[in-house]
Amino acid sequence: MAEIKNYTLNFGPQHPAAHGVLRLVLELDGEVIQRADPHIGLLHRATEKLAEIPPVDFGP
């Protein structure tokens, strides 16, 4: 029986011209994802700052 090995997989960005996309570093145990580490450093245009602002319908 073959032994299942752990792998680290670099996933994304898919195309050099695709700006503002997500990059994931995945740790796999065979075909099962054990850990996903998202890297949002490729996002720009104040996306992180916009996520801090509450929605308009957010009441006091």
CA distance 56 to 34: 37
Is residue 35 very low, low, confident or very high in pLDDT (cuts 50, 70, 90)? Answer: very high
Give a yes or no: residue 1 inside a domain. no
What pLDDT was estimated at residue 31? 86
Domain encompassing residue 26: 6-52
Give a yes or no: residue 27 inside a domain. yes
Give a yes or no: residue 58 inside a domain. no
Percentage of residues in the chain with pLDDT exceeding 70? Answer: 68
- The pTM of this model reads 0.55
Give a yes or no: residue 46 inside a domain. yes
Give a yes or no: residue 57 inside a domain. no
CA distance 30 to 32: 6
**What's the number of domains the chain is made of?**
1
What pLDDT was estimated at residue 37? 92
Give a yes or no: residue 10 inside a domain. yes
Q: What is the DSSP letter of 46?
A: S
Give a yes or no: residue 39 inside a domain. yes
Give a yes or no: residue 45 inside a domain. yes
SS3 string, 31-42, reads CEEEEEEEECCC
Cα radius of gyration rounded to whole Å, the chain: 17
What pLDDT was estimated at residue 3? 75
